[in-house]
């Protein structure tokens, strides 16, 4: 697989570790009121590779959540950072420690970063994390119909993707998600940032798509989902994404998916592989 990575600009972006936001109260799909941990902060026991469903939490973000208080700077962080980019702590007790971008969370507009457990213990809210942003504008040579978003070029090369003779991609995925299960985030004007959620309220569909087995970092295929210029339904379209945040108790929400690849035609095929997870590709798991 050849790409235009040599022509892409690698540029610094930076964000601060955010304070957790209160999600309380939440009204569940059963009509119950709950107070739960949610977005932001440093999550010490929720990490890349852990199951994305089952925590007593709502939209919890694994590892470290970063953002900027200035909206324009935060736009730059959220748009330019890509999954798999190298991240480095530049202030505080963990200065110099390195990790990786694992996703983007829309609505709250956070970039999510993995660091090893020993680094998490040294980090503090407000510490600055600098990222070598690289991937915006990435293209796969010979596949003009397929768009690449939010993906570090070197991560793309590690994803065991095969380019077939008919300009189709064969991509390892842990499961395939039907379009009718995609919820919050539908209608977003761009897929260059953020995510959208897999809905979990229907128990039969939940089990059929094996949503309960999903882990942070898993690669999934979204059927009939067009993420080319925003997020919506299109018969025959295919998108590939990564699981970035946990399940949620409110209607229309669930594990979050950040877009990596999309095509308005059925030119992306998923091959089931239980180890299709960025944690393995990045040498973390």
Confidence of residue 22 (pLDDT cuts 50, 70, 90): confident
pLDDT for the residue 25? 83
Q: Is the pLDDT of residue 24 over 80?
A: no
Parallel, antiparallel, or unpaired: how do β-strands 196-197 and 256-263 relate?
A: antiparallel
Q: Is the peptide bond before 8 cis (omega within 30 degrees of 0)?
A: no
Contact 233, 224 (CB under 8 A): yes
Q: CB burial class (10 A; 0-12, 13-18, 19+) of residue 251? A: middle
Q: Is the pLDDT of residue 166 over 90?
A: no
CB burial of 201-218 (b: ≥16 within 10 Å; e: otherwise) equals beeebbeebebeebbbbb
pLDDT for the residue 61? 97
Per cent of the chain over pLDDT 70 is: 99
pLDDT for the residue 23? 66
Which domains, from first to last, does the chain contain?
Answer: 10-133 (2.40.10.170), 146-281 (2.102.30.10)
What's the CA angle centered on 146, arms 253 and 268, to 5 degrees? 70
pLDDT for the residue 28? 85
User: Could you read off the pLDDT of 107-156 as tens digits, one per residue?
Assistant: 999 999 999 999 999 999 999 999 999 999 999 999 999 999 999 999 99
Report, as an integer, the average pLDDT of 92-98: 98
Q: Is the pLDDT of residue 104 over 90?
A: yes
H or E segment and range at residue 74: helix 71-80
CB burial of 160-187 (b: ≥16 within 10 Å; e: otherwise) equals bbebeeeebbebbbbbebebebbbbbee
pLDDT for the residue 203? 92
pTM, two decimals, is 0.96
- Which structure tokens are listed for 148? 């690449």
What's the CA angle centered on 278, arms 275 and 283, to 5 degrees? 90
């Amino acid at each position: 697989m050849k790409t235009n990575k040599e022509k892409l600009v690698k540029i610094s972006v930076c964000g601060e570790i955010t304070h957790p936001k209160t999600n309380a109260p939440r009204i569940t799909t059963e009509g119950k009121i709950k107070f739960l941990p949610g977005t932001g902060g440093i999550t010490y026991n929720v990490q890349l590779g852990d199951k994305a469903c089952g925590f007593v939490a709502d939209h919890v973000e694994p590892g470290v959540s970063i953002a900027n208080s200035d909206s324009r700077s935060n736009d730059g962080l959220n748009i330019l950072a890509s999954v798999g980019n190298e991240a480095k702590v530049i202030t505080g007790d963990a200065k110099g420690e390195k990790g990786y971008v694992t996703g983007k969370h829309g609505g709250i507009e956070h970039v999510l970063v993995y660091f090893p457990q020993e680094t998490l213990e040294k980090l503090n809210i407000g510490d600055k994390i600098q990222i070598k942003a690289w991937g915006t504008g990435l293209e796969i040579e010979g596949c003009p119909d397929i768009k690449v978003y939010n993906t570090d070029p070197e991560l793309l090369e590690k994803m065991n993707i095969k380019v077939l003779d008919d300009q189709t991609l064969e991509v390892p995925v842990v499961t395939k998600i039907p379009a009718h299960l995609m919820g919050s985030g539908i209608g977003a004007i761009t897929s260059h940032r953020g995510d959208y959620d897999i809905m979990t309220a229907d128990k039969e569909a939940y089990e059929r798509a094996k949503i309960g087995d999903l882990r942070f970092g898993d690669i999934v295929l979204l059927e009939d989902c067009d993420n080319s210029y925003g997020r919506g339904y299109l018969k025959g379209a295919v998108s590939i994404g990564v699981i970035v945040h946990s399940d949620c108790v409110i209607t229309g929400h669930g594990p979050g998916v950040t877009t990596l690849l999309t095509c308005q035609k059925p030119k992306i095929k998923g091959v089931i592989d239980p180890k299709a997870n960025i944690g393995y590709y990045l040498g973390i798991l």
